Amino acid sequence: MPALQRLFVAVAGDSGLSKQAFSFSSPAGRCETCKGTGRSEVAMDVLADLVVPCPACSGARYRPEVLAVRWQGHTVADVLAMSVVALGELLGKAEGASEGKSAVGKLLGGIDTMVRVGLGHLGLGRRRSDMSGGESQRLTLAASLLDAPTPTLYLFDEPATGLHEHDLARLVAVFQGMAKRGDLVIAAEHRTSLVRAADWVIDLGPGGGPSGGRLVAMGPPAELRDGVTAASLRGGALPE
């Protein structure tokens, strides 16, 4: 999150805090009690160890002198805890301000990309280990869209996992935009709305596990005639 770090360095002024101080992975700014994790483990005799907020930073991850710096009334920990959508709204209000102007613009570009791939609910400080597989894939996609060369081959495994249909429509629009610019997007997927939006479908089956592995049908979604996928595309959701 270099742009976020630059923003807080601009706010910090002559405090002596470097860009590294606003990274919870750097010794320059992280809470040394929890090493920037914001968590502490309490050993239990019988049950699994209990994970609680760090007693030194209360889960904020940073040293007190770093948390003393505020932008628009918020600490860097506050900003990391906000959803991407909420942060985008805050940044939009501050876009005209001179303070950290270039960093604000860079952050808005990244946030717009995250929203387009259906990650508006995430916070920038969310641990990757706490994300679903679909969220993790879409985060990688968002990062790639910001600086990936074209054309690029993208492989996805169930990218629609956990997405509401409204957010899935956003993801479909992103995939279609990628295809138009020359990228090749290949996804293993069961969500009907995403399968229906594909240019070409390869249906493997006829069942799952030992009952699968054979080519049932392939072609544009509207032209499929054989198999469960073709029937589902004509009349309902694909079976789980």
**What is the distance between the alpha carbons of residues 221 and 36, in angstroms, rounded to a whole number?**
48
What is the number of other CB atoms lying within 10 angstroms of the CB of residue 156? 20
Residue 47: predicted pLDDT: 76
- 43-55 as b/e, with b when 16 or more CB fall inside 10 Å? eeeeeeeeeeebe
- pLDDT digits over 22-56, tens only? 999 999 999 999 999 999 988 777 777 788 999 99
The pLDDT assigned to 185 comes to: 95
pLDDT at 70: 95
Q: pLDDT of 110-167, one tens digit each?
A: 999 999 888 999 999 998 888 988 889 889 889 888 877 778 899 999 988 888 888 8
Residue spans of alpha helices (H) in the chain: 2-12, 64-67, 76-81, 84-94, 101-116, 133-147, 165-180, 192-196, 227-235
Rounded distance, CA 209 to CA 206, Å? 10
Q: Among 3.40.50.10490, 3.20.20.70, 3.90.1560.10, 3.40.50.300, what is the CATH number of 132-235?
A: 3.40.50.300
Distance CA 157, CA 138 (A): 11
Is omega for the bond preceding 206 within 30 degrees of 0, making it cis? yes
Look at residue 90 in the predicted model and tell me its pLDDT: 92
* For residues 197-202, average pLDDT: 96
- The average confidence (pLDDT) of the chain is 89
- Residue carrying structure tokens 């009907």: 192
The tokens for 206 are 């006829």
Q: Tell me: pLDDT of 100 over 90.
A: no
* The pLDDT value given to residue 101: 77
- Tell me the whole-structure pTM to 2 decimals: 0.76
Alpha-carbon gap, residue 44 to 24, rounded angstroms: 27
- pLDDT number for residue 99: 66
Q: Which SS3 state, helix, strand or coil, does residue 47 take?
A: coil
pLDDT score recorded for residue 214: 92
Class of 2-116 per CATH? Answer: mainly alpha
Q: Residue 97: what pLDDT?
A: 66
The pLDDT value given to residue 89: 93
Return the amino acid letter for 220: P
| Annotated domain spans of the chain | 2-116, 132-235
